[in-house]
Amino acid sequence: MFETTLAGSLPKPFWLAETDKLWPAWKASGAELEKAKRDATLLWLKEQEDAGLDIVTDGEQSRQHFVHGFLEAVEGIDFEHKVKMGIRDNRYDAMVPVVVGPLKLKGRVHQFEAKIARAHTSRKLKITMPGPMTIVDTIADRHYGDKVTLAMAFAELLNQEARALEKDGVDVIQFDEPAFNVYMSEVTKWGVKALERAARGLKCTTAVHICYGYGIKANLDWKETLGDEWRQYEQIFPALAKSSIKQVSLECIHSHVPPELMQLLKGKDVLVGVIDVASDKVETPQEVAATIGKALKYVPKNRLIACTNCGMAPMRRDIARAKLKALAAGAAIARKRYR
């Protein structure tokens, strides 16, 4: 009961990449960089195990950014001539690569980190990938000419990599879809379909993470405009409840999401965000247990997994570590309290 996990990313050590940044530059290249990525992955596996987490991740130490880490392994994309594009419905501008030809995987995408992690932990292992809708929202297109066709093309590639990850021994494959909270009507029209295509045929646990973004300024400003009650989940959860995806990861603590919306996810495991990633203040285990208690009104005991609201990539390492500890300690309290 009340297994613990994290959304996915963890801060990169200073010797691997620039710190406190969402798009950090690597500190080395070639073989040296590969070694540093391996060391950082091992380090975070140990930290997660020591904190007491049940489902661990590679901390996304081998990718620069959660979307572009996947795109770099895809043929048909021009990274040399990036264009400026407003993403997440123009919440912020980003320099994005351009689709210029038919999409194809150059080879494996996350095998390196999945294999390292699998060889060094016996806990359940989760690997995350960007969802098709979020990818399409983070890239310009000069080839397919249609968003849905492009999303389905990416879904095929994601599926190819996901099946290979399953063979590598990964237990949970999670697709990150922050775009689901931005384009709600498109989610029900094709977003969930594209997601299911990405997860097609998988026998391991499948998950989708839908959040309101990292704790960066553009997101904090955007959240200010969303009003007192954030009801985006209300429009998309019914479609997700009907989908083949097994787990849904969502924001809860310090979020303006009405907690009763969680009951729209009947039949799904719910990864409840009990750790705020937009604040450096470390939650106490008591706070974590109380958030689990609140969520229990809407999520059955055997369906609730304690998680972070979002990734921790841009956070300070010591704070991220302390938050992981609080997460596990809080879930332990909750296990006793809500037995």
Please report, as ranges, the residues that interact with Zn ion according to CB under 5 A: 211, 310
CB nearer to Zn ion: give 60 or 269.
Answer: 60
Report, in Å, the least distance between residue 211 CB and Zn ion.
Answer: 3
Name the minimum Å distance from CB 304 to Zn ion.
19
- Residues 326, 286: contact at Cβ < 8 Å? no
- Rank residues 98 and 309 by Cβ distance to Zn ion and give the closer one: 309
Instruction: Considering the complex, state which of residue 36 and residue 192 has its C-beta at the smaller distance from Zn ion.
Output: 192
Residue whose token pair is 């094709």: 190
Q: Smallest distance from the beta carbon of 314 to Zn ion, in angstroms?
A: 12
**Residue 6 C-beta: closest distance to Zn ion, Å:** 11
- Identity of the residue, 22 or 332, whose beta carbon is nearer to Zn ion in the bound complex: 22
| Comparison of 53 and 152: residue with beta carbon closer to Zn ion | 53
Q: How far apart are the first and last CA of the chain?
A: 9
Q: How far apart are CA 253 and CA 220, in angstroms?
A: 15
Smallest distance from Zn ion to CB 9, Å: 9
The nearer residue to Zn ion, 165 or 310, going by C-beta atoms, is: 310
Our CB check for Zn ion shows the closer of 42 and 184 to be: 184
Distance in Å, CB of 324 to Zn ion, minimum: 16
| Residue 96 to residue 116: CA distance in whole angstroms | 30
Q: Which is nearer to Zn ion, 67 or 211 (CB)?
A: 211
CB 147 within 8 A of CB 140: no
Q: How far is the CB of 222 from Zn ion (least distance, A)?
A: 13
Backbone angles phi, psi at 295, to 5 degrees: -65, -25
Shortest reach from residue 280's CB to Zn ion, in Å:
17
